[in-house]
Chain A
Amino acid sequence: MKKILPAILCLVFAVSASAEKKDWGYVTGSLESNSNVYVEDAVNDFYPSMQPQLKDGNIFASNNYLKVDWYKDRLSAGMQMEGYFPSLVGYPVAQNNMTLSNIYVTWKDKSYSVTAGTFYDQFGSGLLFRSWEDRMLGLNNALLGARATYSWQDKVAVKAFWGVPRLGKIDDNTAMMGYHDGFFGFGLADVQVAGADLSVSLSSLLGMDVMSLSVEGSVLNKHEALNDLLLAAGCRDNNIGWSGRVNMDYDGFFLKGEYVDAGKQIVSVPAAMNGRKAENGNAQLVEFGYNGRGLGLTVTGRRMHRMNQKIYNYVGTDPGYGSAANMLSYRPAMSTQYTYMLMTLNPYSPEIGDKVIKSGEIGGQIDAFYNFRRGTKIGGKRGMKVHASFSSWYSLDENGGTAGGGLLFRDFSFDVEKQWTKKFKSTLMYCMQDYNKHHEMTGLYIGQSHVVVADMLYKWTPKLSSRLELQYLASKDDQKDWMAGLLEVNLAPHWSVFASDMWNHGSTKLHYYNAGVSFSMAHLRVAAGYGRYRAGYICSGGVCRAIPAYTGANISLTASF
């Protein structure tokens, strides 16, 4: 790899240096580097020496990503390199690895395109198939293969691909330690995926101007040489899934429906029954609502039954089976994704039905946004924005019915955003969450929390502003009450400084403190901080990022060119 990197850089240099003299196209790219220095913190139950990737007293870890693309008319090519020195705590384990992870070349004409190499794709909502990259999760299930697309005007679009998902074993030692995220995306799975997707716009074909109506369908085949145990359980080497979809939009009203048959999926059963059985997986998704006249209303319903599509199925102790990266489709939690600190303490993880006692989930969510315009009685001089959301999710019983299911998660939230004066703006938010902490087992344990947040922004001068967040969580369950505060001072357009504390005064008496500074200029952003972190999602200094639990200092750099 040390020889490959300079060679690639020389090539990039040569292309870019010549590009302005000859029309050799242009080069663009990005760099992301996140590094941590860890500190032992018994209070946070964090010990660097206990982390699988930190060996021999090492307290430093760093994740780095470099992506470069070259465009010349209809031709484009690119690559991505990743370096882990080693990987950050909380991420899938990687030990001092640097690799050329993605490489591709694409020819794209007005109506067709052909790609060879690494690519990402998705069918519909992703319930049947999705390949994507999420660096915060350490997930990259890109396919290495070939893809072709063709579209006839805006009436018909078709695509087909074949590829091998990115998934591989990093370190046998960590696997033997029983660390179940011992997989990372460096290698290729011994699995082949082929798929095709067709989309027909009926409204374009029939010349309908006011309505948009399309029907879509996809088919996916996954080939994996299975062992006798899985074959005996009812699985097949070639597993075929398909989906059908309809999308409609008329004068702001919209309706989407999707049905997915995922083929045979593996279900964990007691070891006395060989540990696995196969059942047919399927899902139904409906979304409808209205967007217009300052109102945004979305209603979503979804049922998932045995939707356990993994890249790699295996019976035994192989550590890769349970890895977060071992994923071939996208089955997200369909509830509000909160970002305020105390609202993210009990996030919902959907029930995909991979265990025998619960075969999936059913539920829905409603979101309503409304903008009280300026000059109206409620909106006042500067307007006011309100938002309410509700979601409720229940498990399916062993037979796919709801009779034996129970509540998995329920939440309700309401927020009001108001610009009071030219200088002062506030957001007030309330959130209630019911969560079943034992939903993976047969028992039922419902915890409930109520959170209130006041988020206030004040502009002292056109360039100097400060933002204050005050949060309180009231609960009779788990760790009882919490409070949190964040103060951010911004000096536009480059600087931001912040300090925050999250205090569990109801039970553990623990403080999760955090302070940092960020500088951004044009393509570059550098941020540094120190704190005690709980796993969660934090937004400050201009950027939102998910963080794992640890104590220590961090520095991050992002740049694009």
Chain B
Amino acid sequence: MRTFLLSLAAMFMAVSAMAQVPSVKVENSKGEAFDTAQLLDEGTPMIISFWSTTCKPCIRELEAIYESLPDWLEEVDFRVVAVSTDDSRQLAKAKSFAEGRGWGSDFTLLFDKNQDFMRAMNVTVVPHVFVVDAKGKVVFSHTAYVQGGEVELFEAVKKSVRK
């Protein structure tokens, strides 16, 4: 146990955040295959939010982003990508859920039914958000959400543009 924990501590000290968005096949809202590498094509910063229909904090966070988005977009040009991690039990429901909240008009909706993208981004629990700059580098990430936490997220988006 001690060896394990010491080794982990050493690893965290050694590794710096340099992650990017890997190429993984997921589904778009029409059920078509979508390569996540295409997210970089537009060359603008983005928030990538991993969520599920059974995760209430995830929904509260995306709702908070949805409410604030019109004001935020007046300051910075960026996109929001909402990645559902629901498996095939909840997949169809997740699409209807997102539409029932109006997210489809403002967010890019992706569906990661076997959690391949989630694994590739090393997400262990949801909600987990990433801020990716225009070059595709992950510049900020955050696990969990408490009400009001979206302000910190937007600050990270603005910072990614100023870099």
Contact = CB atoms under 8 A, between A and B. Distances in A.
Contacts, number: 257
A413 B90 CA distance: 16
Contact of B142 (A300, A491, A493): A493
A68 B10 CA distance: 14
B113 interface: yes
Contacts of A19: 18
B22 A76 contact: yes
A199 B123 CA distance: 28
Contacts of B88: 122, 124-126, 330, 332
A371 B89 contact: no
Contacts of A201: 32
Interface string A454-489: 000101001111010000000000000000000000
A17 interface: yes
Nearest to B156: A522
Interface string A531-551: 000000101011111000000
Interface in B62-117: 87-93, 95-102, 104, 113-116
A204 to B, nearest CB: 9
DSSP class of A's interface residues: helix, strand, loop or mixed? Answer: strand
A367 B44 CA distance: 35
Of B31, B32, B90, B144, most buried by chain A (CB within 10 Å of CB) is B144
A464 B151 CA distance: 13
B126 interface: yes
A268 interface: no
Interface residues of A, number: 106
Contact of B95 (A27, A62, A296, A542): A296
A120 B114 contact: yes
Interface string A60-74: 001011111101000
Contacts of A199: 33
A299 to B, nearest CB: 9
Interface in A173-222: 199, 201, 212, 214
A121 interface: yes
A492 interface: yes
A19 B18 CA distance: 9
12 contacts: A16-B18, A122-B88, A125-B91, A214-B31, A291-B95, A294-B99, A330-B89, A333-B89, A334-B89, A457-B60, A493-B151, A542-B127
Query: Which 8 residue pairs of A and B lie closest in terms of their CB atoms, listed nearest first?
Result: A369-B100, A296-B96, A492-B148, A542-B144, A332-B89, A490-B146, A30-B122, A296-B100
